[in-house]
Amino acid sequence: MTLWQYAIGLLLVLATLAATVVTVPLLVHERARHDHGPTCRWCRPRPGRR
């Protein structure tokens, strides 16, 4: 296995792991019925700085 193949495989594994870890809290957050308030970053993301 070449270094490029190893690096690409590692990136794909890390991306898959990150997506899996983030999906669970996002699903739980979306299914919550109560209002999360004005400080919830997921409900009301802050606009980017200019």
| 19 close to 25: Cβ distance less than 8 angstroms | no
Q: What is the model's pLDDT at position 49?
A: 63
Q: What is the model's pLDDT at position 17?
A: 95
pLDDT in tens, the chain (50 residues): 799 999 999 999 999 999 999 888 888 877 777 777 777 777 777 666 65
Q: What is the total residue count of the chain?
A: 50
Q: What is the model's pLDDT at position 48?
A: 65
Does the model's pTM come out above 0.85? no
Q: What is the model's pLDDT at position 31?
A: 77
Q: What is the model's pLDDT at position 25?
A: 82
Cβ partners under 8 Å of residue 31, min gap 6: none
